[in-house]
């Protein structure tokens, strides 16, 4: 653990004590310069070597549910505690296994009676827990007859459940947002069971087996064809029996969360990287690079009297569905969410054939997902300014939902970060900007056994660790460019994953 000199502490605490606006203006700049100087590539690489050694000692992986993950957790938590942080381990659930003992049951019990045919009219929605419930069905924002093209927003927003009576079975139409999101909202609204049915356009009428891969609601759920959904929706007071006979085994991994001792807890600067790898490899670029970088920043700033609270997150189970960040955000109250002023995500920052990509907060690239929540554009601009100060170019990268910022932007928390590229192919324009090889992947070892220490670009790691330090340091003292939020102002966005 490296210490700062007394002179530095004095330089920082003096303007704080004076607390004049003029004094505060320069403080973010001064702290950014100091922290960037303290944060060093070789220190980041020491953490990477530790993660590599952990993978090597644990079958070549640090994936969710493996001993390599727990060893990674212990390493990071240990370093943070040693640096003086209060460390919290937050247990996260993931699906360890799921199997079906018998076909599911879906039957109309009133008015009249009718049994639907399992594994034809409807299927268990994997990973549905076991359950047997008889209750009235309530449709959620259904579009019947269906629109000419797929567009149903049924169940995508929590507000759609405002009039939902807890204890009923939610009837939800396919469309627009991820199944997982509809299911989670229904679970939160107190549904006793969930029927999702196909939307109804040509080619979107049948039932089929579906796996959302994530555990989202603790009630039985099935996926039905359009005819079943349409019939139940058009039967006033329809009551059904819904039974799923399955065995769901949940596993647990921990998020590692650490907070600065100093700083105003009403203004939280949050940063995160995922701590798990895929099963195929040690995950040294993905995302050892982000993990090691923010860990180094945490160690170097442990004793600085920052103005705003800085919170470091090392996420569990990102590679199997952003589970760590998702369950973290879900567990926060509205007030706790509002206190997180920015979320900075660093997932893959040292790709061997790198480009300096910044999340496109203002959607200036006009591709894929819309702009991030208000403040995201400002985060992108602040990161751009750092690279510009080193005469380095940057390009945008879409908020495509492939990393842990997803759950944050979904609840209106402004986000940004750096990404040096994964399996995508570097363009000729990018090769002209950044060097490297056009027509080749940014990271040819993405999600493979060869994502080892040899898969790290030292230049990118060094520059990005400094950019990360600069960004965290500035927000640790100055959040004026970021609009403050209230519950009313934080309009949830709809996640744009598979529908």
Binding stretches for Zn ion (CB under 5 A): 286-287, 347
CB 394 within 8 A of CB 323: no
- Residue whose CB is less far from Zn ion, 322 or 476: 322
- Residue whose CB is less far from Zn ion, 55 or 160: 55
**Per-residue 3-state assignment (H helix, E strand, C coil) for the chain:** CCCCCHHHHHHHHHHHHHCCHHHHHHHHHHHHHHHHHHCCHHHHHHHHHHHHHHHHHCCCCCECCCHHHHHHHHHHHHHHHHCCCEEEEEEEEEEEEEEEEEEEEEEEEECCCEECCECCCEEEEECCCCEEEEEEEEECCCCCCCCCCCCCCCCCCHHHHCCCCCCCEEEEECCCCCHHHHHHHHHHCCCCEEEEECCCCCCCCCCCCEECCCCCCCCCEEEECHHHHHHHHCCCCCEEEEEEEEEEEEEEEEEEEEECCCCEEEEEEEEEEECCECCCCCCHHHHHHHHHHHHHHHHHHCCCCCCEEEEEEEECCCCCCCHHHHHHHHHCCHHHHHHEEEEEEECCCCCCCCCCEEECCCCCCCCCCCCCCCCHHHHHHHHHHHHHHCCCCCEEECCCCCCCCHHHHHCCCCEEEEECCCCCECCHHHHHHHCCCCCCECCCCCCCCCCCHHHCCHHHHHHHHHHHHHHHHHHHHCCCCCCCCCCCCCCCCCCCCCC
- Residue whose CB is less far from Zn ion, 199 or 347: 347
> Minimum Å distance from CB 299 to Zn ion?
22
How far is the C-alpha of 197 from the C-alpha of 230, rounded, in Å?
8
Active site residue 299: no
> Minimum Å distance from CB 191 to Zn ion?
33
> Minimum Å distance from CB 270 to Zn ion?
18
CB 323 within 8 A of CB 92: yes
- Residue whose CB is less far from Zn ion, 299 or 347: 347
> Minimum Å distance from CB 330 to Zn ion?
20
How far is the C-alpha of 27 from the C-alpha of 33, rounded, in Å?
10
> Minimum Å distance from CB 236 to Zn ion?
49
Using alpha carbons, select from 286, 247, 295, 252 the residue that is nearest to residue 87.
295
> Minimum Å distance from CB 287 to Zn ion?
4
- Residue whose CB is less far from Zn ion, 347 or 378: 347
> Minimum Å distance from CB 314 to Zn ion?
12
- Residue whose CB is less far from Zn ion, 63 or 383: 63
Catalytic option among 199, 214, 300, 318: 318
Task: At 333, list the tokens.
Answer: 């109250």
- Residue whose CB is less far from Zn ion, 94 or 116: 94
> Minimum Å distance from CB 289 to Zn ion?
9
- Residue whose CB is less far from Zn ion, 338 or 347: 347
Catalytic residues: 318
């Amino acid at each position: 653990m490296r210490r700062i000199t007394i002179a530095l502490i004095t330089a920082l605490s003096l303007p704080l004590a004076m607390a004049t606006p003029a004094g505060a203006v320069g403080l973010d700049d001064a702290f950014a310069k100091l922290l960037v100087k303290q944060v060093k590539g070789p220190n980041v690489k020491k953490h990477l070597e530790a993660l590599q050694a952990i993978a090597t000692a644990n079958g070549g992986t640090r994936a969710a549910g493996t001993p390599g993950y727990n060893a990674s957790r212990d390493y990071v938590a240990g370093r943070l505690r040693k640096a003086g942080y209060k460390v919290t381990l937050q247990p996260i659930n993931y699906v360890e296994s799921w199997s079906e003992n018998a076909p599911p049951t879906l039957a109309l019990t009133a008015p009249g009676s009718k049994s639907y045919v399992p594994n034809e009219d409807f299927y268990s929605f994997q990973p549905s827990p076991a359950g047997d419930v008889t209750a009235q069905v309530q449709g959620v924002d259904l579009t019947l007859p269906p629109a000419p093209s797929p567009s149903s927003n049924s169940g995508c927003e929590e507000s759609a459940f405002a009039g939902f009576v807890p204890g009923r079975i939610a009837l939800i139409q396919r469309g627009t947002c991820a199944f997982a999101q509809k299911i989670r909202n229904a679970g939160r609204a107190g549904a006793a069971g969930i029927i999702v049915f196909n939307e109804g356009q040509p080619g979107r009428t049948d039932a089929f087996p579906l796996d959302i891969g994530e555990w989202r609601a603790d009630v039985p759920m099935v996926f039905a064809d359009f005819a079943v959904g349409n019939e139940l929706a058009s039967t006033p007071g329809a009551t059904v029996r819904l039974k799923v006979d399955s065995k769901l085994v949940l596993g647990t991994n921990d998020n590692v969360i650490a907070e600065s001792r100093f700083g105003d807890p009403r203004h939280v600067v949050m940063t995160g990287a995922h701590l798990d790898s895929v099963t195929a490899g040690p995950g040294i670029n993905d995302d050892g690079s982000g993990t090691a970088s923010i860990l180094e920043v945490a160690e170097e700033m442990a004793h600085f009297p920052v103005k705003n609270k800085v919170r470091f997150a090392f996420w569990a189970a990102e590679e199997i569905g952003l589970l760590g960040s998702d369950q973290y955000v879900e567990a926060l109250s509205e007030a706790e969410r509002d206190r997180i002023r920015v979320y900075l995500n660093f997932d893959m920052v040292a790709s061997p054939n790198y480009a300096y990509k910044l999340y496109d907060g203002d959607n200036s690239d006009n591709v894929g997902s819309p702009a991030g929540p208000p403040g995201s554009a400002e985060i992108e601009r602040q990161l751009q300014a750092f690279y510009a100060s080193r005469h380095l170019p940057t390009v945008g990268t879409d908020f495509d939902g492939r990393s842990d910022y997803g759950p944050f932007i979904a609840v209106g928390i402004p986000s940004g970060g750096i990404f040096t590229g994964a399996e995508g192919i570097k363009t000729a324009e990018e090769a002209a900007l950044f060097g490297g090889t056009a027509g080749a992947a940014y990271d040819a070892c993405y999600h493979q056994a060869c994502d080892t220490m040899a898969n790290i670009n030292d230049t990118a790691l060094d520059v990005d660790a400094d950019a990360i330090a600069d960004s965290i340091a500035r927000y640790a003292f100055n959040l004026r460019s970021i609009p403050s939020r209230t519950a009313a102002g934080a309009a949830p966005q709809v996640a744009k994953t598979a529908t």
